[in-house]
Amino acid sequence: MNKFILIIFIFLVTGCAEQRIIDDLALINAVGYDLSDNEKNPLKLTVTFPIVTKDGKYDRKTIMVEGKTSKEAREQVRFKTNYKLESGQVRVSLFGQELAREGLLPNLHSLVRDPSIGTRVKLALAEDEASDVLLLQIKNEGQNATYLEQFLTKLNRENFRTNYNIYQFLRDYYDEGIDPILPVFKVEKNNIAYNGIGLFHEDKLIEILKPSEAVYLFLFREEMRQGVFVEQIDVGEEEASIMLNYEIKNHHIEVPSTPNKPKEASIYIELIGDVVEYTGKEDVSDSKIQRKIETIITKKINHEGKKLIGKLQELQVDPLGINRYVRNTMKYNEWKALNKYQSYQDMNINVEANVILNSSGKWK
């Protein structure tokens, strides 16, 4: 008897939670933030979400508004669509270059404060305006948001390791030992293409690295365990092009604890590669030639690496996280007192690579 009363009571008491049935929702899958020319409304917000057309086909809709802040612009978007907007399925968040140079933090904070947005939202930069990227209607390619997300996942898997989601960005932003990076997309003709890496000083974009330079960056980032290395090398009289599938066997950043400034750091990497393409005339399977090529590649990597790192130091960006290792050698008070970027700039960073060729593929 008791149980029956209880069950009736349960049914009386359970009202409805607010229903969010998916057919009535506009599930935003990508947002773009730009600076607009409007002074009163400095932020341009672009949202795109999928809809199902009358024929039952899956299509998308993009809306662009200008507002004061990201959430305020969001409220304006609400008035422009018949569906109920929900951010829970946001996959990608794009930032225009101008906005990124001013600083991403305020917008990121509004993204992270919202409990319905997950922390796995991928972040990326747009070379010009994020709205261009999102507004582009590529025929037969479906949703831009899924395209971008897939692109980013692919980049991650292809070991460009540029996959950055909100959690990772904020983590590296707040960590004084490393700076975050983001991939850059650009609109070209009828396609969205990846065009380099954006380097950040704290949360402000400083410079965009071209893809060719970015390759060296990835060699030194420790998350990259495998990759593809394509370069022109000087073998003897002519230039030959070589492509390696490499695997990083050993990655080491050492900062010897010297009490005097400037600090020193050394980056050691050891690569083992399989030759996949070689346009030179020599017989790449001969061990003497291999050793010669190894030395040449090593020298090249050291040289380019040093150049790249010098550039990073000048720009005061630390995507390799060298400061983390500096932190490991110091006491807390020292670390607190240190001017991190200045000391990073003054540091003497060596690159020591060691390239070993494993095989020449299936052909001798």
Partner 1 sequence: MIMQMKEKLSPFQASILIYLIQSGVTLFSLPRLVAEAFGTNGWIGLIIISFIVNINLVLIWFVFKVSKGKSMFEIISIFPKWITLPFSLFIAVVWMLLGIMVMVKFSMILKVLFYNNVSLIYFLSMGYILTYLLLKKDLYQIAKSTVVLFYFTIWTVFLLAFHLPEFSFTRLTPFIFKGETDMWKGGLSIFTALLGYELSILFVHMIERKPLRSLLVGNSITSVIYLGVTFVSFGFFSFEQLLREMYPVVTLLGYISFPILERVENFTFSVFGLKVLMTTVMYLWGTKELIQYQFKRIKSNFLVMGILIVGFSVSFIPKVIKDVDQWLTYITYSATSIAFLLPIFLLLTILSSKILNRKAANE
Partner 2 sequence: MRKDRNRFFKDIKQQIEQPNTAGESILQLFISNFNISSDLSVTEFPHLTVKIYYFSYLINKDHYEQFLTNIRNITKEELQSFLNHSEFNVLSDMNSVEDAILSGSGILFTEKQAYELPFKEGMGRSITPSETETVILGAHDSFVESIDVNLSLIRKRVMSSQLKTIKLHVGNKAKRTVYLLYIEGVASKKDIEEIKKRILSIKNDAIVDTNMLVQFIDEHPNSPFPQFYTTERPDVISYKLFDGKVVGLMDNSPFAFCTPVSFFDFMESMDDFGQRWIVSTFIKVTRYIAILVTLLFTALYVAVTTYHYEMIPQALLPTLLESRSKVPFPPVIEALFLEFLLELLREAGARLPTKVGQTIGIVGGIVIGQAAVQAGITSNILIIVVAASAIASFVVPSYLLSASIRIVRFGFIIISGFWGNLGIIFGMGILIIHLSSLTNLNSPYLLPTSPMFPKFFKYSLIRGPFKKKAERG
- Residues at the site binding partner 2, with contacts judged by CB under 8 A: 3-4, 14-23, 25, 27, 29, 50, 52, 56-58, 86, 88-89, 91, 116, 118, 146, 149
Query: Which listed range, 61-69, 129-137, 187-195, 317-325, lies at the site for partner 1 (CB under 8 A)?
Result: 317-325
Question: CA torsion sign, 244 to 238 to 350 to 288?
Answer: positive
State how far the Cα of 107 lies from the Cα of 324, in Å rounded to an integer: 27
Partner in contact with 56, chosen from partner 2, partner 1, none, beta carbon below 5 to 8 Å by kind: partner 2
Give Cα 79 to chain centroid, integer Å.
Answer: 33
Q: Is 282 in the site for partner 1 (CB under 8 A)?
A: no
Partner in contact with 8, chosen from partner 2, partner 1, none, beta carbon below 5 to 8 Å by kind: none
Partner in contact with 146, chosen from partner 1, partner 2, none, beta carbon below 5 to 8 Å by kind: partner 2
Contacting residues for 299 by C-beta, under 8 A, at least 6 apart: none
| Interaction mask 87-126, partner 1, x per CB under 8 A | -x--------------------------x--xxx------
State how far the Cα of 331 lies from the Cα of 165, in Å rounded to an integer: 31
Give the nearer residue to partner 1 in terms of CB position, either 113 or 189.
Answer: 113
State how far the Cα of 79 lies from the Cα of 26, in Å rounded to an integer: 12
Q: Is 335 in the site for partner 1 (CB under 8 A)?
A: yes
Which of 320, 305, 313, 333 lies closest to 175, judged by CA? 320
Partner in contact with 235, chosen from partner 1, partner 2, none, beta carbon below 5 to 8 Å by kind: none
Partner in contact with 91, chosen from partner 1, partner 2, none, beta carbon below 5 to 8 Å by kind: partner 2
Give the nearer residue to partner 1 in terms of CB position, either 70 or 165.
Answer: 165
Give the nearer residue to partner 2 in terms of CB position, either 86 or 247.
Answer: 86
Partner in contact with 246, chosen from partner 2, partner 1, none, beta carbon below 5 to 8 Å by kind: none
State how far the Cα of 208 lies from the Cα of 182, in Å rounded to an integer: 9
Residue with tokens 């948001």: 145
Amino acid 306 reads K
| Interaction mask 167-196, partner 1, x per CB under 8 A | xx-xxxxxxxx-------------------
Beta-strand runs (E) in 202-297: 204-209, 226-235, 238-254, 264-278
Instruction: Tell the smallest beta-carbon distance from residue 62 to partner 2 (Å).
Output: 17
Partner in contact with 177, chosen from partner 2, partner 1, none, beta carbon below 5 to 8 Å by kind: partner 1
Contacting residues for 78 by C-beta, under 8 A, at least 6 apart: 85
The H or E element spanning position 55 is: none
- Tell me if 323 sits within 8 A of 234, measured CB to CB: no
Give the nearer residue to partner 2 in terms of CB position, either 3 or 288.
Answer: 3
Give the nearer residue to partner 2 in terms of CB position, either 91 or 186.
Answer: 91
Return left, alpha or beta for 321; rule: phi > 0 is left, psi -120 to 50 is alpha, else beta. Answer: left
Give the nearer residue to partner 1 in terms of CB position, either 15 or 56.
Answer: 15
Which of 274, 280, 263 lies closest to 341, judged by CA? 263
Q: In the complex, which residues of this chain contact partner 1 (CB under 8 A)?
A: 6, 9-10, 13-15, 17-18, 88, 115, 118-120, 167-168, 170-177, 321, 324-325, 327-328, 331-332, 335
